[in-house]
Amino acid sequence: MTKGSLADTTTQLRDLLTQERELLLTGRAREAVALVEPKLAAIQHIESFLGGGQAGAVSAEDRREIQAIMWLARENSVHFEAIRNGLRHAIERLGSMHGNAYVGSYGRDGTKVAFSGATGSFQRKA
């Protein structure tokens, strides 16, 4: 990989991460996940350049670009984590919704019977 190719690849990766951030902030995580393949390809190109003994040839501008990429990647990771936590809490709430519902009946001690504890037969009020 040439130095110009490194600059092109880092610019491409930064653009992909910026696009990913916009998708995450607008709640389109599924579309953001579709960017994984091009991001991995760009990262592999950068790693091959740096691992090929050419790391000393990286200019200060390219280093700043790589630092910006790292910052964007961390920020996107936080957004992904927030989405994951939100989905997990929503699933937990949906799973426990019926547990907080009542069947409109009362037990012998006068307390409401929770939906999850409703067993047996109930008589209708005449």
Any idea where the domains of the chain sit in the sequence?
3-94
Instruction: Tell me how far apart the 2 most distant CA atoms of the chain are, in Å.
Output: 89
Query: Which DSSP state fits 68?
Result: H
For position 55, what pLDDT does the model report? 61
pLDDT digits (tens, 9 = 90+) for 82-122: 999 999 998 888 877 665 565 566 677 877 766 555 555 55
pLDDT digits (tens, 9 = 90+) for 36-69: 999 999 999 988 888 876 666 778 888 899 999 9
For position 71, what pLDDT does the model report? 97
